[in-house]
Every structure is written in structure tokens, then in C-alpha cells.
Chains A and B, each alone.
Chain A
Amino acid sequence: MFKYLINLEIKEFFRSKRFGKRMAGKIALIFMFLYFTLMMVVGGFGLYYGLKESMPDADVFLVANSYLIYFFGVLFVLLLLMTSSPSLQIKALMILPLKKKGIISYFMVKLIFNLFFLLVVILLFSYSAALMTDGHNIVKVLSWALALLSVTVSLILTGFLMEKSNKAVLVVLLSLLLIFILKKTGLIDIPGLSARLFYIVYQNPLWLFVYLAIFFALLKYTFNILKNGFYLDDIVHGKKEKVKELQLTWLDRFGTLSIFLKNDIRMIWRNKRPRQTFFWSFYFLFYGAYLINKYSDNSLTSLNFNIAIASMFITSGFLFSFGNYVPAWDSEYYRLFMSQNIKYKQYIESKWWLMIVSVLFFSVLSIPFIYFGINILLLILAMAVFNMGFNSYLVIIGGMFNDKPIKLSEKAKRFQNTKGFNGNAFILGMLRLILPLLIFYLSKRIGGVSLGVGVLFAIGVIGIILKSIILDYIVKIYIKKKYALLESFAKEE
């Protein structure tokens, strides 16, 4: 049965309409993988023997264990950000004489054996080999490694569950909060806890069964969730509920633009994926607040790098997270927009206004930062103006490169990839972040903080004044790419 599914998969890959792009991506990935494999093999040995050399008196294995929890923390974040759950053409498989169990197992195998898992396996293998060559007990080392593997797989499954259900997100967030509070109040010592959690398996291999039990429980749980969701009405249609209407008549005063603004607000509010993205933009705000809280020392002139980056983040969350996919959000009905009574410029302008409104919204939310000093607020506002007059355009240009269609409706995603990644868009994204920091820094070097803030303001204001000219230029690029976008958006992944 796996044979058929693998066969289908190979055909799907080689006959994909995006074969060229995907192949190039895969080749790059293979090289990266080989490189990292080498790193992991060397790293495993290096980690053990290197640490041993620098701390000849300590039990370096115990030391390594005490930092494992951070390793898993980083791994979890990487898993969440960099991996995406595998996609399967589920609808076509449902009525074939294949066992549900088989299809789901196959899906889960694909889910678990991702790049990071393989790298962790190699690292563990190499590290365990180093342990054994240094005279550690083979059985004990192997149980320890297996326990760590169970943890890795459990993390992958947790990440998957988080992607599919808000409850899982809540559970993870609450546990993180709990750990944070416990740490703050000094009730637990994280390295010590980590050492105890993992070293215990080495001391007594029977503890391995606890780890395996957690792993199997999660595996079973995920399996059941997938199995219960294995119906057309869950995968394809979603729930059909009567829904409340949104009152958006207050937007009418914006004229033609209000048509699109209303539509975008409805799009964000009524579809899971854009809604998630919207909430993501608050993370930027909170992260900015966190950085400012940590690095500002109330001395009025010291606006250091961390503060600058934080000021950037505060107003740009929505711009970056939502703006990145700007025409792609409309991919499902792009053909309608392209043949309706809409000039391209009006369409692009409405998107630009959406960005501006979001920056203004976050600027208003940033007013309490005056608590940290007027300079910080001024920098935040300067960054906001820069976002409006410069980054907003970059965002709209960058969005064009994200030509993968986005499926808005929520339940369609249980078996589908929900994240997209594009190199060009990524580079433009970095540019949006680095450029203002660079500008601020260089001008601050030359003429102090006030010049830095002033230059950012000036660039932003000029950008806003030149709006019409710049948008005309962007529209030209968009019109050139119109057919290519229409074609891409019509392709099913």
C-alpha cells in the first residue's frame, strides 16, 4: 500500500506544474542537507571531546544534559518556523480501496521523517558514538539516545497539533508561562531540571519507558485526530454555520477604496489563515515591548541597536506578516478582480492603504512607550513613518514574488501545507528590516540621535508625498506580471 502512495508521490513531484522551481529547491536542499550532515557528524564528536578538553574535571556528559532543554527549545522553534506538514491529495485517496489506517500512517511517516529529525538522528548517533568510544556503557547510552529521539518526535507531533488546533497552542503557551513563572520565582533551576530529566535515563535505562510512553501516547492521539478528521465534510467543506454579519458601514467614507478595505477586513476576520497572520502582528508589538523594557536605561541619548530594532518591530508586525502575501491573499478570486470594473492602480492603492492603516493602528498603540522616554517614542514614530513611506512599497513589490495560491478556508488545511517560503520575498523582507536600521545608524553616527530620527522621518515623508508616482511604477510591474500571477494562482499545489 505504501508502494502506491510513494509511486503517486513521485509522479506528483515530477509532473508538478511547478516542477522546475521545486526541483531547483530540492537540489539546493540536498546540498544543504549534506553540509549539515557533515556538521552534525563532526559536531557530535566535537561537542563531547571539545567540552572535555575545556573542562577536564567536570562530567561533560552531565553538563551536556543540563543544556539539552535549551537545545530542544531551539529545535522546537525551528520546527515551528521552518517545517511544514506534508501535503497529500487526500480527496482522491479517500474512495480508493486503501485502508484509512495505511493512508494516515503514511502521512505520519512523512510528517515525522523531516529534515530536522534526520539531522537530530545523525547528531545523536555521532554523539553516542563519541560517548561509547570514551568508555560509557553501550546499553545506557543507547537508551538515553532513544529517549531523546522520542522527545524529538514528540516535539514534531506537538508542532503539528499546534498548527491544526488552537487548543494545542494554548496548552503550549500556558506551559511556557508556567515554566517562566517558576523560573522567575526561583522554584526551579532549568539546567538542573534538564540534567535530571535526561541524565536519569542514562543512570537507569528503565526510565526510557516513560519517554516511550509519552511518545506513543502523542502518536496515538495525533493518529486519532487525523483519523476522525478523515471525512469529506471536515476536509473539504468545513462547518456550515449561520454567521453574524460585520457592520462596516463606517468605512464607506473612504469612497472606492472602502470597497476593498471592507473586503480585506472581512477576509481577515472570516478566514483562519489571515486571521492567524493578523494576530501574529501583535507578537511583533510584544517582542518590541520586551526588547525596549530590557534594553532601555532611561538615559535619553542611548538608543542602541536593540532599541532601534524594537522600534522597528512595534509598528511593522502587520506590514511584514500580512503584507508579505499581499496579492496572494486574493488568489482564490484573482480572476474576478482582474476582470471586474477595477483599475489596477485602485487595487494596489487599496492594499497600500491597508498597510498604512495597520502602521497607524500600531503607532497609536505605541503611545504608552513614552514611559520609556520621549526619545524612544520619537524613534518608534520615525520608524512608523519610514514604514509608511518606504517599506509599504517594498512590501507590495515583494508580495508579487509569493505567487503560490493561498487557500483561505480553514478546514481545507488538515492535510495540506499551510506555509510558503520564497527566496526573493525573503531577501526583500530582510531589506525592509536592515535598511532602516542601517540608515538610522549611519546618520546617527554623523549627526547624533536627532539626525538619525530626522532622516528616517524625512525618507518616510518623501515616500508618502511621492505616493502616486511610486504606485504608478509598481502598477507597471504588476501589469507585466499579471498573466504569470493569474496562471500561478490558478494552480493547485
Chain B
Amino acid sequence: MIELINLTKKYGENTVLNIPELIIPKGQSFGLVGNNGAGKTTMFNLILDLIRPTTGYVMINGVRVDKSEDWKYSTSAYLDESFLIGYLFPEEYFYMLGDLRGWNNKKVEEYLKDFTELFNDEILGVKKYIRDLSKGNQKKVGVVGALIGNPEFILLDEPFANLDPTTQIRLKKLLRKIVQDEQKTVLISSHNLNHVTEVTERIVVLDKGDMVMDIETNEKTLKELEAFFAIDE
């Protein structure tokens, strides 16, 4: 369970995030949408204790993230390229993450077989450093890296951006499979309303730092979201 209690983040006078209370129960797949500057990445950064909240706090499984490091065992994330280590081969990167989460290389290799289709022979065994991969391939490495080691909580920031159409569809399929696991809580932020409604069971809309919508996804969700974002026309 992830709890955001009375959480705000201000830069000077400017409030970039203001969440009185948000509780994401275990096993839920959670989508976060909003325009640029709505506070999605800020929220993820706060959950991962990468920036300090102005007020309030975040708890993962009952542990305050800024007080203890215990949440790190159960949480993994891929937010952007700064989560990649450019001078490693993708394999080495995966092995390292596996090591950190108690998986040996063999187990990692076994797990990576599920992604053969997604990787499309451009990632494993090409003997290229991660920094030399294309942006799209880097993203694949990052997203898959965040799945290694069976974490309970997975945070993905814009997983569909920068990917080619085929990969987007493959990734969507994959995420849907992961989301079905009752043990896993997945948080996905996205600009792509289509994808996010297909993958998640609950969607929160952020607008200028405020939660303006909190809905369960059903057939009508996409229409509602489109209506919301078309407002200014």
C-alpha cells in the first residue's frame, strides 16, 4: 500500500503538487495522467524520496520513505535515462539489478526470456553499451530493469513515450500481464490516454498539482478523459 498524506511540494510561491490524501492499495494498477507540468513526475520523485516534500509524507507498506530505507526492498522504478548506467551492457545492467534484489544471473537470464519479443534482438548480445543504444531501446532496458527482482511496487514514468508503435503495443500487452498479478502494485504515468486506460484499473488526473479526477476505469473512462482534456477548445 502506498499512502500520500497531506503531501505538497512548493518551489518558492509556486505549488507544483498538492495532494491531501491518496491511498493506492496493494495490487492496484494505477494510472496518472495530466498535461505537462501537472506534477506527475514530482509525485513519483516524492514517492521515491528523491526530492523533499514541503509538507506531508509518503508511506510505502507503512514505512515513511524519508525516515527509513526499508521501502527500497519492495520498490523499483524507471523514471528517465538517469536510471540507466550508460557504460554497462544491457545484460550487465540487468544482472546488477538482479544482484541487488537477490536474483542470480541465471534467474535473470531466465526472466529475460519473457522479453525476447519486446527486445527484438536489438538489446541482448549486441555488445553495445547502454549509452550507445537508441532512445527507444534505452527505454526498453529501463522498463524491463524496473521489473527485475519481483518488486511489489513498480513506478514507470511515461513508459510508452519514445517507443515505436509495435513496441508500444507489445509493452502494453506485457504490462497488462504484470498488472494481473495480485501482488504487484503498478504506477504508470502517461500522456497517452488510450494506453493508460487499457492497462490500469484506476486513473487519477492531475492538473497544476491538484487531483481533479479519481476514477475507476471502465468503457466510458476514455471518453471522460478525452472530454476533460479537450476543455480548452
Contacts and interface: CB of A to CB of B under 8 A. Distances in A.
A172 interface: no
Nearest to A489: B82
A18 interface: no
A240 B132 contact: yes
Given A336-B84, A341-B76, A408-B87, A240 B96 contact: no
A259 B100 contact: yes
B100 A486 contact: no
B132 A483 contact: no
Interface in A220-239: 237-238
B72 A341 contact: yes
A483 B52 contact: yes
Interface in A422-448: none
Contacts of A271: 87
Contact of B83 (A237, A266, A336): A336
Nearest to A487: B51
Contacts of A266: 87-88, 92
Given A240-B132, A339-B72, A344-B69, A263 B49 contact: no
**Most interface-central of B85, B87, B100, B128 (chain A CB within 10 A):** B87
A270 B96 contact: no
Contacts of A240: 128, 132
A237 B129 contact: no
B85 A342 contact: no
A342 B100 contact: yes
B127 A339 contact: no
Interface string A95-111: 00000000000000000
B87 A336 contact: no
Contacts of B97: 340
Contact of B76 (A244, A338, A340): A340
Nearest to B77: A339
A187 interface: no
Given A339-B48, A339-B77, A341-B101, A333 B85 contact: yes
Instruction: Give the interface SS of chain B, mostly helix, strand, loop or mixed.
Output: loop
Contacts of B83: 333, 335-336, 339
21 contacts: A237-B132, A238-B131, A238-B132, A240-B128, A242-B127, A242-B128, A243-B127, A244-B127, A245-B89, A256-B100, A259-B96, A263-B96, A266-B92, A332-B86, A333-B83, A339-B76, A341-B76, A341-B101, A341-B149, A342-B72, A483-B50
Interface of A: 237-238, 240, 242-245, 256, 259, 262-263, 266-267, 270-271, 332-336, 338-344, 408-409, 483, 486-487, 490
Q: Which 6 A-B pairs have the closest CB atoms?
A: A336-B83, A270-B87, A339-B48, A242-B127, A240-B132, A259-B99
Contacts of A336: 82-85
Given A266-B92, A343-B69, A338 B50 contact: yes
B79 interface: yes
Nearest to B104: A252
B228 interface: no
B96 A333 contact: no
Nearest to A336: B83
B85 A263 contact: yes
B73 interface: yes
B75 interface: yes
Contact of B72 (A243, A340, A408): A340
Nearest to B72: A341
Interface string B86-120: 11110010001101110000000000000000000
Given A270-B87, A339-B50, 18 more contacts: A242-B127, A242-B128, A256-B100, A262-B96, A266-B87, A332-B82, A332-B86, A334-B82, A338-B49, A338-B50, A339-B72, A339-B75, A339-B76, A340-B72, A340-B97, A341-B76, A341-B101, A409-B131
A124 to B, nearest CB: 46
A339 B85 contact: no
Interface in B126-176: 126-129, 131-132, 149
Given A259-B99, A339-B50, A483-B51, A270 B129 contact: yes
A408 B86 contact: yes
Nearest to B48: A339
A486 B50 contact: yes
B105 to A, nearest CB: 9
Contacts of A332: 82, 85-86
Contacts of A338: 48-50
B146 to A, nearest CB: 10
Contacts of A490: 82
Nearest to A345: B69
A474 B75 CA distance: 25
B99 A267 contact: no
B148 to A, nearest CB: 10
A240 B126 CA distance: 11
Contacts of A341: 72-73, 76, 100-101, 149
Nearest to A342: B100
Nearest to A334: B82
A342 B128 CA distance: 26
B222 to A, nearest CB: 31
Nearest to A269: B87
A23 B175 CA distance: 49
Nearest to A242: B127
Nearest to A330: B85
B110 to A, nearest CB: 19
Contacts of B85: 263, 332-333, 336
B50 A335 contact: yes
Nearest to B97: A340
Contacts of A237: 132
Nearest to B127: A242
A490 to B, nearest CB: 7
**Most interface-central of B75, B76, B83 (chain A CB within 10 A):** B83
A409 B84 CA distance: 13
A335 B126 CA distance: 26
**Most interface-central of A242, A243, A341, A408 (chain B CB within 10 A):** A341
A364 B46 CA distance: 47
A338 B47 CA distance: 12
**Most interface-central of B79, B96, B97 (chain A CB within 10 A):** B96
A56 to B, nearest CB: 64
A244 B92 CA distance: 13
Contacts of A408: 86-87
A339 to B, nearest CB: 4
